[in-house]
Amino acid sequence: MVERRNLILASVLIGMLMSAIDTTIVILALPTITDQLHAPFLDTIWVILIYLLVLAALTTQLGRLGDIFGRGRIFNIGFLIFIAGSAASGASPNVMLLIISRAFQGFGAVLIQANSSAIVADYFPPKERGRAFGITSMGWTIGGALGIVLGGIITTLIGWRYIFYINVPVGLIGFYFSIMYIKDNKKTKTTIDYYGTILLLVLLSLISYGAVEIAGNGIDVLNLVLVVVGIVLIIPFILIEKHVKDPLILLKAFKDRVLSFSLLAATLQAIGYLSVLFILIMYLQGIRGFSPLDSSLLLVPGYIISSLFAPRMGKLSDRIGSRIVASIGIFLMAGGVLVYLMMGLNSTLYLVIAGSIITGVWRVYVLAFKQQCSNVRGPQRALRFDLWIIENA
């Protein structure tokens, strides 16, 4: 039984790693994709955005498909869709088909993610869930970081298409373990918030499209209208969520001040760091003319630090408290960003390495905080915290 549980955890971890890696693996390959597909850069950005939009809008709801039809079945279908979407992305002859394939790939990733935590809770007893949740959530965060490095290495050595093709053999291994060892749970009656899900997807798409166009082409009436309409749609979205039986977002949860401020802090730190990281990569490949491989190697020190020390940081979180750990992490992130802001046209590359190391230490503290959240006892609380981790990684 123990060996079976470990194989199930391995399958879940493979799925989490693949879906997490593909949130960031395209970033370093973006200039190469733009050049080889002869596409406008603003169109190529949607290769990243469409994947993230699908994850943001569908993750909470598609988990309910597992409750209705069986988690093992939906999890396995997610693997197959993700593998097919990866193969189609690698074979795409133009940017439009690549964007469509990425949306398809994202849908498969959602089916994997949305059922992973529940599968862990089904097969692991309460005393072992904390460790299992810690491993899966750590896999998600490390996967997102690893994707940046792998994107640069694979794009330079064998071509950008293989950042997608590599998912096929790895995904088949995960699918094999999944179909062999993960069985369907007892099905339960639940409902899907169709209106809330569609409205969330629409408003996020409008805001994203308008913001991208403003960033690339400047402010005009149409772009402003798109952003404003997207923001205004938040009002009917909230009204819908207050009245549906099983809402997409449980608004009552935000009465908890700790949760509300934690989500706000997580959102702000993600915007602050990831936006600077995107600009940093464009700086390295555009202004400085480095290859994707050289750009990724400059960022490697930080990822090595976070990978080596993250498993040990949970003990520090247990000892001094997760609030202190998280606060230290955010201060470190701000310090790393300040280092990046010091760079100019001919700055020494040691600044890039220094920023990478500082932000690498920051990721260690954030991982420790997430591991602490995952260790909350009881299946319902653990699932709720793990879902929060996945949505805000």
- Whether 118 shows a pLDDT value over 60: the answer reads yes
Q: Is 94 exposed, middle or buried (0-12, 13-18, 19+ CB in 10 A)?
A: exposed
Q: How many other C-beta atoms can be found within 10 angstroms of the C-beta atom of residue 233?
A: 17
Which of 21-25, 47-51, 146-150, 361-365 is predicted most confidently? 47-51
pLDDT of residue 225: 92
Residue that wins the pLDDT comparison between 392 and 124: 124
- Whether 176 shows a pLDDT value over 80: the answer reads yes
Residue that wins the pLDDT comparison between 274 and 237: 237
Tokens found for residue 97: 């088909």
Indicate the pLDDT class of residue 376, thresholds 50, 70 and 90: very low
Q: How large is the angle between the packed helices 46-69 and 71-91, nearest 10 degrees?
A: 160
Residue that wins the pLDDT comparison between 244 and 381: 244
DSSP-based helix, strand, coil % in the chain, nearest 5: 85, 0, 15
- Whether 204 shows a pLDDT value over 80: the answer reads yes
